[in-house]
A = this chain, B = another copy of it.
Amino acid sequence: MTTQRAGAQNPDEALRRFYGVIPAGGVGTRLWPLSRAAAPKFLHDLTGSGSTLIRATYDRLGPLSGDRIMVVTGKVHRSAVLKQIPEIQDANLVLESEPKDSAAAIGLAAAILYQRDPEIIMGSFAADQVITPVDVFQEAVREAIHTAAQGYIVTIGIKPTLPATGFGYIRAGRNLHLDGAPSAHSVIEFVEKPSEEVARGYLETGNYSWNAGMFVAPVALMLRHLEANEPELYTGLTEIAEAWDTPSRSEVARRVWPTLPKIAIDYAVAEPAAAAGDVAMIPGNFSWDDVGDFAAIGRLNPAIENSKLTVMGEGARVFSDNASGIVVSDTKRVIALIGIDDVVIVDTPDALLVTTKEHAQEVKKAVEHLRASGETDVL
Of A319, A365, A373, chain B has the most CB atoms within 10 Å of the CB of: A319
The answer to whether B319 and A339 have CB atoms under 8 Å apart is no
Q: Please, how many angstroms separate the alpha-carbon atoms of A18 and B339 in the complex?
A: 47
Q: How many residues of A contact B (CB 8 A)?
A: 37
A352 touches B334 (CB 8 A): yes
CB distance from A350 to the nearest CB of B (A): 6
- In this complex, which of A352, A358, A362, A365 has the most chain B Cβ atoms within 10 angstroms of its Cβ? A352
Copies held by the complex? 2
Residues of A336-359 whose CB lies within 8 A of B: 336-340, 343, 345, 347, 349-356, 358-359
For A343, list chain B residues within 8 Å (CB).
340, 354
Q: Does A33 contact B (CB under 8 A)?
A: yes
Interface contact B365-A340, CB-CB below 8 Å: no
A255 sits at the interface (CB 8 A): no
Inter-chain contact A340/B366, CB cutoff 8 Å: no
Q: Are A365 and B350 in contact (CB under 8 A)?
A: no
Q: State the CA gap A355–B336 with chains docked (Å).
A: 8
A322's closest neighbor in chain B, by CB? B359
Asked if B334 and A365 sit within 8 Å, CB to CB, the answer is no
A177 within 8 A of B: no
- Determine whether the beta carbon of B354 is less than 8 Å from that of A335: yes
A352 to B317, CA, bound (A): 10
Complex-state Cα separation, A340 to B345, whole angstroms? 11
CB-based contact B359/A338 at 8 Å: yes
Residue A363 lies at the interface, judged by CB distance under 8 Å to chain B: yes
Q: Closest residue of chain B to A32, judged by CB?
A: B336
Give Cα A332 to B351, complex, Å: 9
How far in angstroms is the closest Cβ of chain B from A166?
17
- Chain B residues with Cβ under 8 A from A334's Cβ? 33, 350-352, 370, 375, 378
CB of A5 within 8 A of chain B? no
State whether the Cβ of A321 lies closer than 8 Å to any Cβ in chain B: yes
A362 touching B339, Cβ below 8 Å = yes
Partner of A339, one of B32, B355, B375: B355
CA distance A370 to B337 in the complex (A): 12
| CB closest residue in chain B, given A370 | B319
Q: Which residues does chain B contribute within 8 Å of A78, judged by CB atoms?
A: none
From A366, which residue of chain B is reached at the shortest CB distance?
A: B336
A81 to nearest B CB, angstroms?
27
Residues from chain B with Cβ under 8 Å of A366 in the complex: 319, 321, 336, 338
Asked if A370 and B336 sit within 8 Å, CB to CB, the answer is yes
A binding-site residues for B, Cβ under 8 Å: 32-33, 317, 319, 321-322, 332-340, 343, 345, 347, 349-356, 358-359, 362-363, 365-366, 369-370, 373, 375, 378
What are 18 A-B residue pairs whose CB atoms fall within 8 Å in the complex? A32-B336, A317-B375, A319-B373, A321-B365, A333-B350, A333-B351, A333-B352, A333-B378, A334-B352, A336-B352, A336-B366, A337-B355, A338-B354, A338-B359, A339-B358, A340-B354, A340-B355, A352-B352
Not counting A33-B336, A339-B358, A339-B362, a sample of 11 additional A-B residue pairs whose C-beta atoms are within 8 angstroms of each other reads A322-B359, A332-B350, A336-B352, A336-B353, A336-B363, A338-B353, A338-B354, A338-B356, A338-B362, A338-B365, A340-B343
